[in-house]
Structure 1
Amino acid sequence: MAPKKPSSKKTKAGGFVIGSARFRKISAVEGIQYSPKMKGASSLKGKALSPEERRKSIIEAYRKA
């Protein structure tokens, strides 16, 4: 009996993920500037918040008035 060949199907879609620092550099080259709202949202990463506190702050930031 011949050994089984591994499936040639890819499970992940092609592509990659860039970080926010790299995105800012690319945006600067393209002439795109962060709005104050966008800058505030990215500042959440530096804070040591619990998952609940993080969700709460995101909901407050994007809640419609």
Structure 2
Amino acid sequence: MAPKKTSPKKGKAGGFVIGSARFRKISAVEGIAYSPKMKGKVEAIKSKASSPEERRKAIIKAYRKA
């Protein structure tokens, strides 16, 4: 059996990350609007000056299924 070839991007995830301003522009084009509840959560997360990992955990906790 031939050895498996590894990817040159060893350990890196594909894709890219967009910022909140760009996300709002894309959402406006798509006709997606934040609910008041969602806006409040976003502002609360931003005001805490959390690390990116803490923000991700807060978002996952708020929107995951029980």
TM-score (norm. length: structure 1): 0.55
Aligned residues, how many? 49
Structure number with greater CO (CA < 8 Å, separation at least 6) is 1
Which structure 1 residue ranges, 4+ long, deviate > 3 Å from structure 2?
A: 48-51
Taking every aligned residue pair, what percent have the same amino acid on both sides?
Answer: 69
- Larger Rg, first or second structure (1 or 2): 1
* 1:9 has 2:2 as partner: no
Letter in 2 for 1:42: V
Q: C-alpha displacement at 1:9, in angstroms?
A: 2.5
Q: C-alpha displacement at 1:34, in angstroms?
A: 0.6
* 1:32 has 2:32 as partner: yes
TM-score (norm. length: structure 2): 0.54
> How many Å separate the matches in 2 of 1:35 and 1:8?
42
Which structure 2 residue ranges, 5 or more long, are not aligned?
Answer: 1-5
Which structure 1 residue ranges, 5 or more long, are not aligned?
Answer: 1-6
